[in-house]
Structures are given as C-alpha cells and as structure tokens.
Amino acid sequence: MTANIFHRIAAVIIVLWLGFGLAACANFVKGGDNRHNIPLAPAMVKALYDMGSSPAEGMVVRIFKREQQLEVWKRTSSGQYKVFKTYEICSYSGDLGPKYREGDYQSPEGFYTITPGLMNPKSNYYLAFNTGFPNKFDRANGRSGSNLMVHGDCKSVGCYAMTDAGIAEIYALARESFKGGNPSFQVQIFPFRMTTASLTQNASNQHLNFWRNIKEGYDYFDLTKTPPAWDVCEQRYIFNPTASGLDAMGPCPATYQNAEVEARKVADASALANVAAGIERQAANEVALKERSQAVSGFFSGIGNMITGTQQQQQATAEVATPAQ
C-alpha cells in the first residue's frame, strides 16, 4: 500500500515537472527553435561593460557595401556611441547605389529605423531583421521592394547576408537593446566609407547627388558619435530638422547646424568643383588636340593633293608635247 502511494506521488511529481518544462518551452521557443533567445556570450557582456556600455544600451548599425563590413555601435555612459564590433558581410546584391524597384536585385542604401516588429526570429536564413525598405525617402521617390533583410546563411538576393554566427550576435545585441527600453535602433547603409576622397573618386557616378545627401548624416555621426535625427522633405533626406512630421514632397525647414559638418560640406563641394574643373580642362584639351590633329592632317593632305595635281599636270603637258607616232 505504502509503495503504491509512493509511486502515485512520484508519478504526479513527474507529470508536474514535465508540464512545467513544456510550459517553459511554450513561453520561450517559437517554431521549435530557441536560437533567437540565446544569451549573449559572457565575453561579449564583459566587453560591453569594459567600454562603458551594457547590453541594455542603445545601438546603431552601419553598413558599408564596398568594404563589405557591418559595424555595431553601442551607447556608452558618456552618451556618445563607440564601435563595439565589426562583422564581415558574406554577400550583398547588385552594385554601389540605392535600390530602385522590386526585382532589381539591388541592396538598399540610406537611413532606416528598426523596431521590434521588424525582427524575424523565424527566418529561413537563420535569423534576420527587416531594414524597413521602402522607407519614407524611398516611397517619396517611387522606389519599390519588400523583405530587404539583414540575415544569416551567407546568401543574398537584395539583402545583406551575414554568417549565422554573426547574425546571432547582432540579433542578440538588438534584442537586449529593446529589452533595455530602447524603442528602435538606426541602420545607416552607405556605398563606401564616405570620405571626401572617396566621394571625389566617384564624382562622375550617377548617384553622386544621393550620396552627397546621405553623407550629411554620415558626417554628423562620424563627428559627434551620436545618431542624427532624420526625416524627408523635397524628396531628400534632412538631418536634425527644427520641425518633425514633414511632408516628404514639401519644403524643407531649417536644420540644427553643426559647424564641423558644415565645414565638411564646404570641403566636399570644393573638392568636387576641382574635379569638375579638371574634367572640363581635360575635355577642352582633348578637343584642342583633336582640332590640331585635324588641322595637321588637312595640311599634309593639301600638300599631297598639290603634289599629285602638279604631277598630273606635268604628265598631261608631256603627253601633249610628244608627237603622235
């Protein structure tokens, strides 16, 4: 009797234990996989604290196409952001330049705001977050596309593909930032590291005006180490505007000026003007060289014609002077 009671109690305990275990899985596991809940490695947590940050602090992601790098920046106790880790991008689609339309296999460029709703723990590419393309700028310029992600699996069709290990860390950093009370994080996507030199190297590119526009946001973050507020007006990005809720097609308000950013804009304009002047000089020199070449060719052609004419005249004279046989 005692043994039966013991066995019944043991069976109840086992059932309760299994029930608790299953409940815990139901609370934390989606799609039969717990990869989106894997904690940050202790070494990463320590590294965050060592730099004056924490998993709960805000973050910014910067992507550079040409260099194939993704940077994660974290807010520190100073209020400024520091780069925490740089990841290699396995693959992205298309060329340097923004995305225009669905199916062009082009990876986007610009400024995007990532909220918890854009995180995808059930991605077929291990883990992912949606960039939010098309954003306000993209829509104002008639651009189309969907499901433009940063994901794992090292394969890309219009997305930015990371290794599975890389996206696992990036996803976990974003998750902890959201848990810390941050409603979003900013993703800044550039064709290359936007120095004045790299801009002038691409002075003849069709995307130059767009790149000069987003470089204003790049420069602000680069100089202040804080992400710029951005909006869209006149179909272009505006950074740190004095008003919010702008009409994407309407006039732009004033912006909060930063002297260092403005100095970079002046330097960029001057360097690009020098490049344009150099291109004009080269074009003018090529035209002048072509004209000189044509003149020289015409001169020698004229001399040749004169010689030929003289020879023909001499021959005709000789034929007239020679008596018929």
- The domain ranges of the chain are 42-268
Beta strands in the chain (DSSP E): 59-64, 69-75, 81-88, 91-92, 110-114, 119-120, 128-130, 149-151, 160-161, 185-190, 230-233, 236-239
**∠ CA(226), CA(227), CA(230), 5° rounding?**
145
80: tokens are 């400024």
Task: Give me the pLDDT at residue 310, please.
Answer: 66
Asked about 7 being catalytic, the answer comes back as no
Q: Tell me what percent of the chain is helix, strand and coil, each rounded to the nearest 5.
A: 45, 15, 35
Work out the mean pLDDT of the chain and round it to a whole number.
86
Question: Model confidence at 293, in pLDDT bands (50, 70, 90)?
Answer: confident
**∠ CA(146), CA(151), CA(155), 5° rounding?**
90
* Whether pLDDT at 322 is above 70: no
Report how far residue 174's alpha carbon sits from residue 218's, in angstroms, rounded to the nearest whole number: 21
pLDDT tens per residue, range 208-257: 999 999 999 999 999 999 999 999 999 999 999 999 999 999 999 999 99
pLDDT tens per residue, range 27-50: 323 444 799 999 999 999 999 999
Dihedral angle computed from the Cα positions of residues 287, 292, 296 and 298, in that order, rounded to the nearest 10 degrees: 50
Question: Model confidence at 315, in pLDDT bands (50, 70, 90)?
Answer: confident
* Whether pLDDT at 140 is above 90: yes
Going across the sheet that includes 128-130, the strands are 91-92, 160-161, 149-151, 128-130, 119-120
pLDDT tens per residue, range 63-72: 999 999 999 9
| Residues making up the chain, counted from first to last | 325
Task: Give me the pLDDT at residue 324, please.
Answer: 52
Question: Model confidence at 277, in pLDDT bands (50, 70, 90)?
Answer: confident
Report how far residue 157's alpha carbon sits from residue 91's, in angstroms, rounded to the nearest whole number: 9
Beta bridge pairs of residue 255: 241
Task: Give me the pLDDT at residue 278, please.
Answer: 67
Q: Which whole-number Å values give the CA distances from 219 to 227, 234, 261, in the listed order? A: 10, 21, 6
Selected residue with higher pLDDT from 31 and 53: 53
Task: Give me the pLDDT at residue 288, please.
Answer: 63
Q: Which whole-number Å values give the CA distances from 61 to 173, 273, 295, in the listed order? A: 11, 32, 59
96: tokens are 């340097």
Average pLDDT estimate for 139-158: 93
Catalytic residue among 90, 151, 154, 207: 151
* Whether pLDDT at 121 is above 70: yes
In sequence order, the 6+-apart residues with CB closer than 8 A to the CB of 143 are 98, 99, 100, 101, 134
CATH fold, domain 42-268, is L,D-transpeptidase catalytic domain-like (2.40.440)
Catalytic residue among 36, 90, 159, 233: 159
Question: Model confidence at 285, in pLDDT bands (50, 70, 90)?
Answer: low
Range of weakest confidence among 17-31, 194-208, 244-258 = 17-31
Asked about 151 being catalytic, the answer comes back as yes
Task: Give me the pLDDT at residue 85, please.
Answer: 98
